[in-house]
Chains A and B, each alone.
Chain A
Amino acid sequence: QKEVEQDPGPLSVPEGAIVSLNCTYSNSAFQYFMWYRQYSRKGPELLMYTYSSGNKEDGRFTAQVDKSSKYISLFIRDSQPSDSATYLCAMPLGNTDKLIFGTGTRLQVFP
């Protein structure tokens, strides 16, 4: 079983829609959960990180963690064309700095 899985998409939505991006993971030792955004030909840019279960909100972005289901989500409200990018979930392995990434979900927001 793969450690971190994401639907690669593409996910295509109209401007203003609420977007839900998801990851599942298999290792119950993961404690921290990160979302990176990657524009074409750019490096991953950290959007949000959360610890353990619960929600965290930052502007139009909400990160949600359900450790019992080993499932994390990133919600984007009022999506904009500038949100068009690949969204990567990532988790540090154990107590290390080694990030385990999902494959990324490509999001397209059309005007």
Chain B
Amino acid sequence: EPEVTQTPSHQVTQMGQEVILRCVPISNHLYFYWYRQILGQKVEFLVSFYNNEISEKSEIFDDQFSVERPDGSNFTLKIRSTKLEDSAMYFCASSRLAGPNQPQHFGDGTRLSIL
């Protein structure tokens, strides 16, 4: 069964550094998402992306964050000037179509640790 893959599984970065989290969505999916989960807290929506544009973003997704689809298969989340509070699990998800009734398929996440 096709799946969303994320790399790396664990990323350790010094505070203030830039980090890029990578995702390969399911191949025939057109809509892409990033969520994060701080330890012990809820999974939170960050951003949705379609047709090389951000469709929607949360208040968490400020100028520190950016997303890109650099080629036909990868979808990336860049975090500039990382802070301690950016430490979390970051999940990528994709769906074939848009809309509230379309299932989103999640990857296994990247654990980001900021030191």
Does B75 belong to the interface (CB within 8 Å)?
A: no
B56 interface residue (CB < 8 Å to A)? yes
Most A-side CB within 10 Å, residue of B6, B56, B58: B56
Number of interface residues of B (CB under 8 A): 29
Q: Which residues of A sit under 8 angstroms from B93, Cβ to Cβ?
A: 43
B65 within 8 A of A: no
Residue in contact with A95 in the complex, picked from B33, B100, B109, CB distance below 8 Å: B100
A34 CA / B43 CA spacing, docked (Å): 14
From B43, B55, B58, B103, contact of A49 by CB (8 A)? B103
**B82 sits at the interface (CB 8 A):** no
Known pairs A97-B55, A99-B43 / 13 extra A-B pairs, C-beta < 8 Å: A43-B107, A43-B109, A46-B103, A49-B103, A96-B100, A97-B100, A98-B45, A98-B58, A99-B104, A101-B43, A101-B44, A102-B42, A103-B41
